[in-house]
Amino acid sequence: MMSMPIVSKMHLSEAERWQAVLERSTAAKDYFVYAVKTTGIYCRSNCPSKRPKRQNVVFYATAEEAEANGYRPCKRCRPNEIDRLQQLVAQVQHLLETQETEPSLSELAEAVGMSSYYVQRVFKRATVGVCSASAIC
């Protein structure tokens, strides 16, 4: 399996988390989720939805934790799906970084056992604006 996710490496204070939510931070999206007491929904920091009021927000380290506390995943940012997709993206990124010559999209797809179309879609979505893999982006 892949190495541990970066999640546990980064500790953000409540204030930093809230700031990340306000900024719709993509960089912080894997480090926590925020749940909104008034709606019962939890989101990633980069969710495009309307920002909640600070007093209605609670933070959790993981989607599992939020769900254990009775929150449902947001339908827009799909915070519970990202963990799975994250793994796929990490695998692809790892391949891109470790191969001497950049693998083609079909080689990547074969390596992770998914269709080229799926890999491309997931990877592009995960690396919006920062994708550097010429085979994919």
Name the residues annotated as catalytic: 43
Which part of the chain contacts Zn ion (CB under 5 A), choosing from 22-30, 38-46, 59-67, 81-89? 38-46
Are the C-beta atoms of 10 and 40 separated by less than 8 Å?
no
Enter the DSSP assignment of 33: E
Two tokens, residue 48:
């495009």
CB of 31 to Zn ion, least distance (A): 15
3-state helix, strand, coil in the chain (%, to 5): 40, 10, 50
76 part of the interface to Zn ion, by CB under 5 A: yes
Query: Which residues are CB-contacts of 92 (< 8 A; sequence separation ≥ 6)?
Result: 108, 112, 119, 123, 133, 136
36 part of the interface to Zn ion, by CB under 5 A: no
The footprint of Zn ion on residues 108-127 (CB under 5 A) is none
In what side-by-side order are the strands of the sheet with 41-43?
A: 57-60, 33-36, 41-43, 72-73
96 part of the interface to Zn ion, by CB under 5 A: no
Which part of the chain contacts Zn ion (CB under 5 A), choosing from 6-14, 23-31, 77-85, 114-122? 77-85
Which part of the chain contacts Zn ion (CB under 5 A), choosing from 62-70, 76-84, 85-93, 114-122? 76-84
74 part of the interface to Zn ion, by CB under 5 A: yes
Q: Which residues bind Zn ion (CB under 5 A)?
A: 43, 47, 49, 74, 76-77
